[in-house]
Structure 1
Amino acid sequence: MKRGELVNSACPIDRSLSEVGDTWTLQILRDALHGVTRFTDFSKHIGLATNVLSARLQKLVAVGIFEIRDSELGNSHEYVLTEKGRDFHTVLAALRQWGQKHLFDDDEPMNRVIDARTGQPPRPMTLIAEDGREMTPDDILVVQSRAADPIESAVPIETPRRRQS
């Protein structure tokens, strides 16, 4: 599947990647979730060429992840996360936890997050089934229906795992 086709895919992962699926965009969203709002601050923190940063910010505005507001300083504007953008924090938290678990040696420095109220790290993220059990990849069945339809009307999608069972 070509990158341009992701936006029309029935797969939510494909559609998500069409909006946020590159390193620079993920870094912009990470910094925005940490409070960065101004172009110059994004540029300083990420070290990204201004033309690339400008293009990424324009796209994030176009897809409704950021909105532009006048700066309180009066001489510029700010990129403020919308509800859609703020909802992305769980995606980044999952990436962070995966990276913490699999990509660092014990003696390496690592940025970590803690709960601002308790000082404790968050619990590891997992998929929890309706009955409370933790789900693994083996527990997942991909189904398809219209977004507005009840899940009971969904039809299973043919996948390699489904063909094995």
Structure 2
Amino acid sequence: MVSICNSSGGAVPPNWTDPDCPVARALDLVGDRWSLLVIRDAMDGARSFTEFQRRTGIARNILTDRLRKLTAHGLLDQRTAPSGRRREYVLTDTGRDLFPVVLTLRQWGERHAFEPGEPRSALVDQHGTPVPEIAPTSADGTPLNAENTQVQKIR
């Protein structure tokens, strides 16, 4: 179970919005704007507090809070920078696992948050080719959507 440290150093489980729902739990961990922007920038190579602040424009106190939260929940890790003079933040495996989530949000934004012809950034692979659309499919290749899936409780 994910937990954070209280002021005395002991682990405290998060106060889950909806304890049985994986979507709600994920949002409790990374569902605010700033957390996902920090994760996005870490995926784009940001490592230092200053880089995160410059890229996002986030207030120092909010950035401090989000970096602590993301580190406490195991999405970021802190290590000594190669210079040895400061600490830097790096994605953990758990943080890197958010790549498909960030990619899906990006692609949704490309389709629905821009007017035709409006300038925007694009995500490309190492050869400069645009990343293809993510489209979930069933084991037999059938496209999945809200109409042909359902939630099932697992006990």
Common topology (TM > 0.5): yes
CA RMSD of aligned residues (A): 1.3
- Name the CA distance, whole Å, in 1 between partners of 2:28 and 2:39: 15
Report the equivalent of 1:104. Answer: 114
List runs of 5+ in structure 2 lacking aligned partners.
1-13
Report the equivalent of 1:142. Answer: 151
Report the equivalent of 1:73. Answer: 83
Task: Please tell me whether Structure 1 or Structure 2 has the larger radius of gyration of its CA atoms.
Answer: 1
Return the TM-score normalized by structure 1: 0.82
Report the equivalent of 2:16. Answer: 5
- Name the CA distance, whole Å, in 1 between partners of 2:143 and 2:43: 28
List runs of 5+ in structure 1 lacking aligned partners.
147-165
Aligned-pair CA distance for 1:122: 1.6
Return the structure number with greater helix share.
1
Q: Deviations over 1:40-92 (max 9, x none)?
A: 11011111111110010000000000111001111110111000000111100
Stretch deviating more after TM superposition (91-100 or 126-135): 126-135
Q: Deviations over 1:16-63 (max 9, x none)?
A: 001101111111011000010101110111111111100100000000
Matched, 1:87 2:122: no
- Name the CA distance, whole Å, in 2 between partners of 1:101 and 1:13: 22
- Name the CA distance, whole Å, in 2 between partners of 1:94 and 1:124: 8
Return the TM-score normalized by structure 2: 0.87
Aligned-pair CA distance for 1:112: 0.7
4+ runs of 1 displaced by more than 3 Å?
A: none
Q: Give the alignment of 1:116-155 within 5 angstroms.
A: 116-117=126-127, 119-146=128-155
Q: Deviations over 1:99-148 (max 9, x none)?
A: 1011111121011111112x2212211111011111121101110114xx
Aligned length, in residue pairs: 142
Q: Which has the higher contact order (CA 8 A, sep 6+)?
A: 2
